[in-house]
Amino acid sequence: MLKIGKDLKKGQTIQIDDTHSRAILICGKRGSGKSYTLGVIAEELFSSKEKPFIFIVDPIGIYWTMCLPNTNNNSSLPVKVIVPGNPVFRYSKEIISKMEELGVRFQKVSLNPADLSPEAWCNLFDFSINEPLGISLYRSVQRLRKTKTFNIHNLITHIQKDVLSQDKTKEALINRLKMVIDWEIFSAGSQDMASLFTNEQINVLDFSVIDPGAYGLRNLILSVLCQDFFKKQAILRRKEELNIISSCKRMWLLIDEAQQFCPHGKSALAKEILIRWIKEGRQPGLSCVFASQQPSSLDNEIISQGDIIIIHKITNTDDILAVNKLSQDYMASEMKIYIRYLKNPGEAVMVDDEKERVLILKVRKRITKHGGEERIK
């Protein structure tokens, strides 16, 4: 059971049952406690008896601080930071050295170009497969994937030799691919994604080191990782059902600023697998927590699938309308009425659809340092 806070009315400890797969939605405007609550759930998961794999997607760079204790206590948790590309390039030797002194471990993640479908390559650059740039890139990737492994230089060479593409198209593609080389996230050969993660540490995928506008790079990496995890977890679950020895452990995916990966009314490279995760993850033991300060910008498939909803203070009209659609028949009032009772940071409306209950809670204090606190002079 995950102890996340206390009922403000009754004073009772509020717990979330984690003995089976869950889908949790956390909403709240900036400073309301949304990211703080996600951290509390991560702390509780790490302390649970089952010790599931905990995978935090961190677009802001605030969860590595879980290796530090909160004020006036000595508690901290082991943290592994998963870095897209070379950690020294993404940070600096000085920063890495200092964080390692604090107990943080670093792990580089790299992608095999051949693991990406031709469609994914086109989506990375927002190319249409019906236009010259998309047609040329699609054709080259499709042919090279038959070799099972290739690098970016191979792709550039293949495009240069493509007699069906115009010189102007080739030049535009090659310029973009040279930029991809500078990202330092692609390498020939496949990396075992599952080996990057351990249930002995909090695994934090730090996307703050990647510009959110760098094409679809954040989404691309998350898509590849989640597809790999989903496939392997489904196989392990099948082995377990057949009484074949396997190491099937539950996995929790926690995503902050989830609207970046599952935007409403827009396509994104990671969107399809994340929707599949929340809709089909129960059987293979996959749980998820999606947090967003803009619920109106989050895809409806994500919002509607949550069996636990935690809503901190929100004031934007569109966001209020989005969460108000989650009002249920067993609730005494509409969601927007409950939100009006929230006065302080850390307070939230919690809807447990499984138990058909709604309450207002105060999220418990973190045992580890919250990296999202505002800097005050």
Instruction: Provide DSSP, 87-153.
Output: HHHHS-HHHHHHHHHTT-EEEEE-B-GGGS-HHHHHHHTT--TTSHHHHHHHHHHHHHGGGS---HH
Convert the pLDDT of each residue in 292-330 to its tens digit: 999 999 999 998 888 899 999 999 999 988 888 877 777
Model confidence at 199: pLDDT above 90: no
What are the φ and ψ backbone dihedral angles of 357, each rounded to 5 degrees? -135, 155
Per-residue model confidence (pLDDT) at position 138: 94
Model confidence at 5: pLDDT above 90: yes
Which has the minimum average pLDDT: 7-11, 18-22, 228-232, 324-328?
A: 324-328
N- to C-terminal Cα separation, the chain = 39
Per-residue model confidence (pLDDT) at position 250: 85
**Quick one: average pLDDT of 87-105?**
90
Going by pLDDT thresholds of 50, 70 and 90, the confidence category of residue 97 is very high
Per-residue model confidence (pLDDT) at position 189: 65
Strand bridging mode 347-352 / 357-363: antiparallel
Convert the pLDDT of each residue in 204-251 to its tens digit: 999 998 887 656 889 988 998 888 888 888 887 888 777 787 676 788
The pTM of this model reads 0.88
Total Cβ atoms within 10 A of residue 221: 23
Per-residue model confidence (pLDDT) at position 214: 57
Model confidence at 281: pLDDT above 90: no
Q: How far is CA 88 from CA 2, 64, 104, 107, in A?
A: 36, 16, 14, 11
Q: Where are the alpha helices (DSSP H) in the chain?
A: 34-47, 87-90, 93-101, 118-124, 132-144, 152-160, 167-183, 217-241, 271-280, 300-305, 317-324, 335-339
Convert the pLDDT of each residue in 125-154 to its tens digit: 889 889 999 999 999 999 998 877 788 999
Contact assessment for residue 54 and residue 196, using Cβ atoms and an 8 Å cutoff: no
What is the residue-averaged pLDDT of the chain? 88
Per-residue model confidence (pLDDT) at position 190: 62
Convert the pLDDT of each residue in 165-191 to its tens digit: 999 999 999 999 998 888 888 886 666
Contact assessment for residue 48 and residue 18, using Cβ atoms and an 8 Å cutoff: yes
Counting residues of the chain whose pLDDT is more than 70, the rounded percentage is: 94
Q: What share of the chain is helix, strand, coil (3-state, %, to 5)?
A: 40, 20, 40
**Quick one: average pLDDT of 60-71?**
90
Model confidence at 70: pLDDT above 90: no
